[in-house]
């Protein structure tokens, strides 16, 4: 063959980027400022719900609550400076999506290694976009060559080949992703090589 074997378009370049930090839920009662934080709400032993944002804690009588709203509503309120309804959730039922220490987590190979405790929301390790069955609409992290993370992004396409033959995914800032839903305005997007993207 002239020029040797064809390069693998899915191969990660040498000096591949480090994985982004995992999401490690922390009880809201142990956190300081909560305004705009991503949160999970739920009840141990019952289940958890995400894609939510919080506001500052509120004390009523002897109880502490956290105003929690759907993430799209939070973005709309911030962007358009409007008031939105935010139910008050007891602080002990709210967990903040904090970040842990980066590093690859071994992929679970059997059912037993995938089991979690129902006492708290489980830690969520990043997954290479290349290894995901689907991407459109999911939260992604773009790893920059500097080693920094760019978060608050959503994938707006699946993997595709661009005009240069690179495997890429188009992403949009999360504010614009949500604005697309409430205004119909198509978001600005950026074409990112798939090896630089991880699912949160």
Mean per-residue pLDDT over the chain, rounded: 89
In a domain, 3, yes or no: no
| pLDDT given for residue 134 in this prediction | 97
Domain count, the chain: 2
Region 113-119: mean pLDDT is: 85
Exposure of 136 by Cβ count < 10 A (0-12 exposed, 13-18 middle, 19+ buried)? exposed
pLDDT tens string 161-173? 999 999 999 999 9
| pLDDT greater than 90 at residue 91 | yes
Please say if the pLDDT value at position 189 is more than 80: yes
In a shared domain, residues 131 and 181: yes
pLDDT confidence band for 29 (50 / 70 / 90): very high
pLDDT, position 102:
75
SS (H, E, C) the chain: CCCCCCCCCCCCCCCCCCCCCCEEEEEHHHCCCCCCCEEEEEECCCEEEEEEEECCCEEECCEEEEEEEEHHHHHHHHHHCCCCCCCEEEHHHEEEEEECCCCCCCCCCCCHHHCCCCCCCCCECCEEHHHCCCCCCCEEEEECCCCCEEEEEEECCCCEECCCCCEEEEEEEHHHHHHHHHHCCCCCCEEEEHHHEEEC
Query: For residue 9, what pLDDT is reported?
Result: 38
Query: Quick check: is 149 in a domain?
Result: yes
Residue with tokens 């995400």: 50
Flag whether 137 is in a domain. Answer: yes
Q: With bands split at pLDDT 50, 70 and 90, how would you rate the model's confidence at 114?
A: confident
- Which range marks the domain in which residue 94 is found? 23-99
Asked whether residue 111 is domain-assigned, the answer is no
The lowest-confidence range among 14-23, 51-60, 70-79, 140-149 is: 14-23
Give pLDDT tens digits for 42-89: 999 999 999 999 999 999 999 999 999 999 999 999 999 999 999 999
Considering the domain architecture, whether residues 28 and 93 belong to the same structural domain is answered as yes
Using the 3D structure, point to which of 31, 64, 99 is the last residue of a domain. 99
What CATH number is given to the structural domain containing 181? 2.30.30
């Amino acid at each position: 063959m002239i020029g040797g074997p064809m390069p693998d378009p899915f191969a990660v370049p040498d000096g591949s980027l480090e994985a982004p930090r995992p999401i490690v839920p922390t009880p809201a009662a142990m956190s300081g400022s909560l305004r705009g934080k991503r949160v999970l709400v739920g009840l141990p032993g019952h289940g958890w719900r995400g894609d939510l944002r919080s506001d500052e804690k509120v004390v009523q009588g002897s109880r502490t609550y956290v105003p929690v709203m759907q993430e799209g509503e939070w973005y709309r309120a911030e962007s358009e400076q409007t008031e939105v309804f935010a139910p008050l959730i007891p602080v002990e039922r709210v967990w903040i999506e904090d970040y842990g220490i980066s590093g690859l987590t071994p992929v679970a190979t059997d059912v037993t290694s995938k089991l979690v405790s129902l006492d708290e929301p489980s830690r969520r390790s990043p997954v290479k976009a290349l290894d995901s069955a689907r991407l459109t609409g999911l939260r992604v992290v773009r790893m920059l060559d500097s080693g920094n993370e760019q978060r608050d992004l959503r994938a707006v396409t699946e993997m595709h080949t661009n005009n240069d033959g690179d495997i890429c995914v188009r992403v949009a800032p999360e504010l614009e992703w949500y604005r697309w839903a409430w205004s119909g305005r198509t978001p600005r997007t950026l074409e990112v090589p798939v090896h630089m993207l991880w699912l949160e």
